[in-house]
């Protein structure tokens, strides 16, 4: 059993100064505000402890891709993001041919069983050609029941979320099939109108994939999918708060409107995250990263991001006012809300019985230590005080 003390701990939606967390057998045995109930084994007198980040939309990082269908490369991407505080990763796959997609799903299913990632997100291939973004348009297709069943079988329970365009033929049946299998359905990369989006929500869709990006724009006479997703309390909306996909004012307004309990900040990171500018591949497309912004080669189309969850956390705290209220909201946005949206009951918050996934942040909100399932990860810049 290990008892941690810190200058601050975020518990139950508030910042406790000081606070403590006790770890036993990979789980949180107890936590609370104030000084630890006994001398701490490790004390972080100038740091804040927050839940491990939950990134529900990420394609790779550290030069590695989750689509590689290679266990070592999958682990390399997950390890990179874990060093940035993401202790639960939903590995996202872009549009691919049926065979390649099944192979990638099977490889990620094995990684899920080994707890390298928390599950799989299929972002395609059932997307709108009008809003395909950085997806290979030639590989897009309408949902086919046989392919849906084949992918569910290959995933063997590891597929946790699917993004689709609800205006495509066969989408209603696909939504029913996925929700019956316990898979979260997200609306995204879509040209659906307001009514079609509301119909998808009634059918069981509960997430909006990177709101505003790669979907029909909001118009005062045709509000489209964004307003339908925003106004329904059953829906969690993703936002890419990397400074390139959305203006900070839009991020703030969506958080103010929907509330942190309905907004999940994501990275949408590709292999280039942590690997620098240069040439990359994403789902069969050539991607160039210049100044940290990824774009499909020869176009202005943004192709995912190069950000990480710790950077997203720092950015949103600053945008929301750099207060204790902002810190608590940032925890909700980067951990608690995405965990709830995905049905991950044992992560996303520091509470007794939850998995011991946590991040120690220094005074500048930079990652100092990361714990996943009770084990300190091989990354540290801030030494605790042993007592």
Q: Which residues are annotated as a binding site for substrate?
A: 134, 213-214, 221, 245, 302-304
Contact 188/206 with Cβ under 8 angstroms? no
Phi, psi of 304 (to 5 degrees): 70, -165
Round to whole Å and give the CA distance between 342 and 184. Answer: 7
Q: Where are the alpha helices (DSSP H) in 122-161?
A: 145-155
3-state helix, strand, coil in the chain (%, to 5): 30, 30, 40
Round to whole Å and give the CA distance between 316 and 295. Answer: 24
Round to whole Å and give the CA distance between 249 and 108. Answer: 36
**Of 268, 286, 288, 373, which residue is the catalytic one?**
268
Phi, psi of 50 (to 5 degrees): -130, 160
Q: Report how far apart, in Å, the C-alpha atoms of 30 and of each of 1, 22, 26, 37, 288 are.
A: 11, 5, 12, 10, 47
Rounding to the nearest 10 degrees, give the CA dihedral for residues 149, 152, 153, 155: 160
- Count Cβ atoms within 10 A of the Cβ of residue 81 and give its class: 0-12 exposed, 13-18 middle, 19 or more buried: buried
Helix (H, G, I), strand (E, B) or coil at 71: helix
Active site residue 256: no
Contact 115/108 with Cβ under 8 angstroms? no
Tell how strand 42-51 and strand 358-361 pair up.
antiparallel
Q: Report how far apart, in Å, the C-alpha atoms of 226 and of each of 168, 264, 337 are.
A: 17, 15, 19
Helix (H, G, I), strand (E, B) or coil at 322: coil
Q: Which residues are catalytic?
A: 268
């Amino acid at each position: 059993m290990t008892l941690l003390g810190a200058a601050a701990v975020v518990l139950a939606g508030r910042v406790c100064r000081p606070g403590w967390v006790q770890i036993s057998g990979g789980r949180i045995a107890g936590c609370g505000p104030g000084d630890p109930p006994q001398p701490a084994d490790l004390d972080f007198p100038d740091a804040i402890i927050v839940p491990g980040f939950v990134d529900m939309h990420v394609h790779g990082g550290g030069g590695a891709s989750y689509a590689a269908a290679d266990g070592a490369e999958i682990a390399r991407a997950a390890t990179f993001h874990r060093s940035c505080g993401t202790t639960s990763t939903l590995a996202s796959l872009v549009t691919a041919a049926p065979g390649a997609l099944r192979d990638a799903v099977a490889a990620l299913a094995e990684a899920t069983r080994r707890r390298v990632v928390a599950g799989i997100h299929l972002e395609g291939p059932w997307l709108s050609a009008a809003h395909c973004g950085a997806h290979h348009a030639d590989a897009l297709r309408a949902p086919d029941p046989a392919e849906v069943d084949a992918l569910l079988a290959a995933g063997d329970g590891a597929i946790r979320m699917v993004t689709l365009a609800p205006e495509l033929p066969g989408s209603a049946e696909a939504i029913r099939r996925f929700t019956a299998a316990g898979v979260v359905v997200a609306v995204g990369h879509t040209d659906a109108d307001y009514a079609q989006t509301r119909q998808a929500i009634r059918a069981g869709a509960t997430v909006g994939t990177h709101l505003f990006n790669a979907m029909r724009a909001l118009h005062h006479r045709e509000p489209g999918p964004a307003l339908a997703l925003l106004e329904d309390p059953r829906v969690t909306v993703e936002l890419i708060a990397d400074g390139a996909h959305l203006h900070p004012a839009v991020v703030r307004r969506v958080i103010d409107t929907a509330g942190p309990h309905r907004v999940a900040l994501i990275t949408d990171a590709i292999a280039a995250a942590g690997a620098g500018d240069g040439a990359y591949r994403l789902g069969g497309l050539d991607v160039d990263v210049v100044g940290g912004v990824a774009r499909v080669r020869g176009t202005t189309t943004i192709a995912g991001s190069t950000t990480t969850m710790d950077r997203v956390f720092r950015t949103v705290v600053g945008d929301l006012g750099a207060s204790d209220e902002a810190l608590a909201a940032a925890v909700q946005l980067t951990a608690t809300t995405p965990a709830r949206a995905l049905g991950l009951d044992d992560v996303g918050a520091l509470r007794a019985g939850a998995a011991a996934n946590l991040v120690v942040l220094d005074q500048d909100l930079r990652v100092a230590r990361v714990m996943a399932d009770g084990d300190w990860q091989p990354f540290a810049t801030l030494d605790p005080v042993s007592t």
